[in-house]
Amino acid sequence: MSLTGTLLTRQRPILHKAIRLSTLRPLSTSRRLYRDGDTGSVRSGGEAAGDSWTRREKAAENVYIKQKEKTLLTMLREKIAAQEAILAKDRAILAAMEDQYGHVVEEKVF
């Protein structure tokens, strides 16, 4: 074979592989998959869970959750206090009516 024939023979498999790789290459719109320890991945326990970024992120999440729970508890306490005030008012009205009309026994209706 001549030198030209050798070069052409060697180039064919390279071109063939290049075409095959381009057809198998994923699109840029494909979903990015993260492996353990990569940024944005879910971290499991062990060594990966102990780095400073993960600890700081977990602490920030805990502070946020505690603040939300504290706000929710405050709102619930306010609702309970408002309902207890309404209940006390209704009991006062009932006591006044019982004083005025005497004790009334309700009839059971079936």
Q: Domain boundaries in the chain?
A: 52-102
CA dihedral 74, 78, 79, 82 (to 10 degrees): 170
pLDDT > 70 fraction of the chain, expressed in percent and rounded: 48
Q: pLDDT digit string (tens) for 30-68?
A: 566 656 555 555 556 655 556 888 889 999 999 999 999
Q: Do 35 and 41 contact (CB within 8 A), yes or no?
A: yes
Q: What is the pLDDT of residues 79-96, one digit of tens each?
A: 999 999 999 999 999 999
Query: Would you state the pLDDT for residue 89?
Result: 97
pLDDT value of residue 69:
97
